[in-house]
Amino acid sequence: MDNKEVTIHDIAEILGINSSTVSRALNNSPRVAQKTKDKILKKANELGYQRNDLASNLRKSKTFTLGVIVPRISRHFFSSAIAGIEETAFKQGYNVIICQSLESLEREQSIINTLVANRVDGVLISISMETENYNHFKGLEQRNIPFVFFDRHCNISNTSRVVIDDFAAAFTATEHLIQKKSTEIAHFSGPQNLEIYKNRFKGYKAALEKYNIPFKEELVITSSLMEADGIENTKKILSLPYKVDGLFCANDVVAIGAIKYLKKIGKKIPEEIAIVGFSNETISSVIEPSLTTINQSGFKIGQIATNLLLKKISNDDKKQIHETIIVKTNLIERKSSLRIDKD
Amino acid sequence: MDNKEVTIHDIAEILGINSSTVSRALNNSPRVAQKTKDKILKKANELGYQRNDLASNLRKSKTFTLGVIVPRISRHFFSSAIAGIEETAFKQGYNVIICQSLESLEREQSIINTLVANRVDGVLISISMETENYNHFKGLEQRNIPFVFFDRHCNISNTSRVVIDDFAAAFTATEHLIQKKSTEIAHFSGPQNLEIYKNRFKGYKAALEKYNIPFKEELVITSSLMEADGIENTKKILSLPYKVDGLFCANDVVAIGAIKYLKKIGKKIPEEIAIVGFSNETISSVIEPSLTTINQSGFKIGQIATNLLLKKISNDDKKQIHETIIVKTNLIERKSSLRIDKD
DNA sequence: CATCAAAATACAATCGATTGTATTTTAATA
DNA sequence: TATTAAAATACAATCGATTGTATTTTGATG
């Protein structure tokens, strides 16, 4: 019936004691006698008391909450990263607020404002495709809110990040195509403001170079890497006066688009075109032919990034230590690149 | 350098005015002169002021935050529901805290406690597979926190929910298999404490009945509906002395497992066994053969559920109005049930 | 029984913003 | 210029929990 919230003051008044004692009892402070604690706990349960974290956090200026910003949670890589983040955070008593930038810089900025306004203790970020200016991160820094990039990071100095070696992974992927006898290899790349796509591009180029395959600018197409882009990009590639027989995609989604389109027009994969993707989405093992791809454990990256963030949070020193942690990846060979070697 | 937070009091002191005026100015109250507002806003920007929502929310006892609890965000249905929820909530100035129960009742309860402690204005819930007792929802009720179930709901009276007609959808799916000449139809069902799986089961049974197909208890297998369950269940079904030629699965994931296993042992889909799933996951259109399934728009369900919740929140009346909204579904016919009609 | 340290509890300020009421300032009118 | 209503601003309590300090209670000891 009564709409009012039960507070420690109500409990205190009913029991004829002071609210500070109630507070200490509920926090199991050694300064309260066991008998009193029992009495208070009993009454608190009876009244259905539930601490108001707003008040508590305000007073303590500590929320035990981490903000997480990802482009979209529906990506397998990100949802498994979130799983790793949550697991690690919960173990240490932290809650997690998950936010999606939906690849929009504006939303990313607004999310950061909200997280700051809610005084999260730290932030984990994988930046959006639109993100080119880094002022909003500077704001976090000024406010002394530690943050860690994972996967999609920024190239600002003095930040912590948990990433993979995109260059090496892309090199491996491209090398794999070359070993599978591809000689005219295209590359579907993503927005070049993102380090990861820049580095994957560099890795692709380096592999070509190593094997003395001439690099052709027209064979590299930059897009948002959605499925529809995969279809469009493939059309473009096929219209060129080259016989493309290999394709390295900067993510799996765009590769799926390519596969679907190539199947539709009757091109044989991998015989005519061998394909390698990046990320190992769930769908990639299911599509036919199954997609060879770079496997990066989102779960592990999430765990490591969270541990790093929590370390930064508990480090009272004013001067933040910045680290870059590189997580191993591996190539999963599947049918989209499985050419039967003739030798 | 200075570690301290900038507050309205700092701004007030610097400008030699009262903090209440600063507060009103920042909230664009008509009670403050434009000239003063300008002065305050300028100084606030200069100092990098960012309101402390903890304090603000505490004072206003209103957080403009909704809690969302889903079993797991990696499911396509749920991530698209979340997209719909966020879109609708943001439009009306609400933030969203996304939480995963990971199908665990314990986590679900703990999440609700956290949401209550953080004084969210309302909660959207799709319950876990383990959820059988509903006390934690009663707690929300007592605290006058409105909540709306979506998809996986509870059968407690006097609650609001946005659901689909599981019975009808399952009936349609099963009828479809029958029309495709299946005569021995198995059903992979989920935990029977969940209304949705109970109703899907009922729909399956009702369709059999309508067409005078005898119901066989052994052809119904209840599991957690994971991919591994699909494999196990299929093995069981095939070991029975029936020639199963149709399979209706209570979700797509378990159907994918079944398809993978059947392909592996060389059973032909749909010729030997026709399959229908439920939910229309991304993967379902990609697997071969593509999976016939019930399409339910997570996005739309999320939108509708959020609108209903916001309506409840803004409804000051003590007595909550409870509604059940049913969202349309449709059958998407794909290859897993595409038997060429001989007639 | 007096003494006193330790244990238990009470007091009161505080976190930062909001908001009803009181006061001061402004400017329009007689 | 005095008057006064309206506009602008100041004051002070409040939201609910925390926490350093002060006070009281307990019980052990001589």
Nearest nt to B58, CA vs C1'?
D15
Mean of pLDDT over chain B: 94
**Which chain A residues have any C-beta within 8 angstroms of a chain B C-beta?**
3, 5, 48, 50-55, 57-58, 61, 63, 72-74, 76, 79-80, 82-83, 86, 95, 97-98, 100, 113-114, 116-119, 139, 142-144, 256, 282-283, 286-288, 318
Q: How many Cβ atoms are within 10 Å of B95's Cβ, its own excluded?
A: 22
CB-closest option in B86, B100, B139 to A100 = B86
B113: distance to nearest CA of chain A, Å?
Answer: 8
Q: Can you list the domains of chain B with their CATH numbers?
A: 8-51 (1.10.260), 63-164+298-327 (3.40.50.2300), 166-296 (3.40.50.2300)
Cβ distance of B79 and A74 shorter than 8 Å: yes
Q: Which two structure tokens, joined as six digits, stand for A143?
A: 């406010």
Q: Per-residue confidence at B292, pLDDT binned at 50, 70, 90?
A: very high
Beta bridge partners of B147: B123
Q: Which residue in the set A52, A72, A119 is minimally distant from B52, CB to CB?
A: A119
Q: In chain B, which residue's Cα lies nearest the Cα of A319? A: B1
Q: Computed from CA positions of residues B329, B331, B334, B335, in that sequence, does the dihedral angle turn out positive or negative?
A: positive
**Strand C at less than 7 A from CB of A35:** yes
Count A/B contacts: CB-CB distance under 8 Å: 98
Report the sign of the C-alpha dihedral through residues A13, A15, A18, A24, in that order: negative
Q: Residue by residue, what is the 3-state secondary structure of B118-182? A: CCCCEEEECCCCCCCCCHHHHHHHHCCCCEEEECCCCCCCCCEEEEECHHHHHHHHHHHHHHCCC
pLDDT at B1: 33
* Half-sphere exposure in the Cβ direction for A26 (13 Å, CA): 20
Residue-wise pLDDT tens digits, B201-251 = 999 999 999 999 999 999 999 999 999 999 999 999 999 999 999 999 999
B67 → chain A, closest CA residue:
A97
Nearest to A118 among B53, B286, B287 (CB): B53
Name the burial class of residue B4, with classes exposed (0-12), middle (13-18) and buried (19+) by CB atoms within 10 angstroms of its CB: exposed
pTM: 0.91
**Residue A1: its pLDDT value, please?**
33
Q: What is the mean pLDDT of each run of 10 residues along chain A (343 residues)?
A: 78 96 97 96 96 97 96 90 95 94 95 96 96 88 93 90 97 98 97 96 98 97 97 97 97 97 96 97 92 96 98 77 94 94 49
Strand D contact at CB of residue A58, distance < 7 A: yes
How does pLDDT run across B112-135, given as a tens digit for each residue?
999 999 999 999 999 999 988 888
From the Cβ of B16, is strand D under 7 Å away? yes
